[in-house]
Amino acid sequence: MVKTITQKVIFKNTKPAKLYDLYMDSDKHTAATGSPANIHRKPGQSFMAYDNYITGKNLQLIPDRLIVQTWRASDWENSDIDSTFILSFQKKGKDTILYMTHANVPKRQVDDLKQGWVDFYWKPWKNYLNRI
């Protein structure tokens, strides 16, 4: 059985373009998370993050607005289907609201991934943005 994780995160004084680049630029992604990432900026191209723990392929990219990818973790079972990962960015005043949808997540992985997005992405991203 699979589940869907949704999260909404507000990034103060941050433009959507900055968050889009933070995810899609390999060097910035690596710097913000503290773990190696290799991400290409064209649909159909593959990516990896967290030193190959996360792999997938870009499905749809709308600069500064939307990222849609296939996504899977290296500890998933071979029988698990790839999940679908969606990030969208909405400007609200000086802030940006990030909406994350992570669909088709194996049920046994939901709790770890739900907290993992907070611990390994949103908190490190906010710390990184405060440093630059």
CATH number for the domain spanning 93: value is: 3.30.530.20
pLDDT of residue 132 exceeding 90, the answer is: no
Q: How far is the C-alpha of 42 from the C-alpha of 62, rounded, in Å?
A: 10
Instruction: Print the domain residue range for 97.
Output: 2-131
pLDDT per residue as tens digits for the range 52-91: 999 999 999 999 999 999 999 999 999 999 999 999 999 9
> What's the whole-model pTM score?
0.95
Q: How far is the C-alpha of 5 from the C-alpha of 100, rounded, in Å?
A: 8
Domain count, the chain: 1
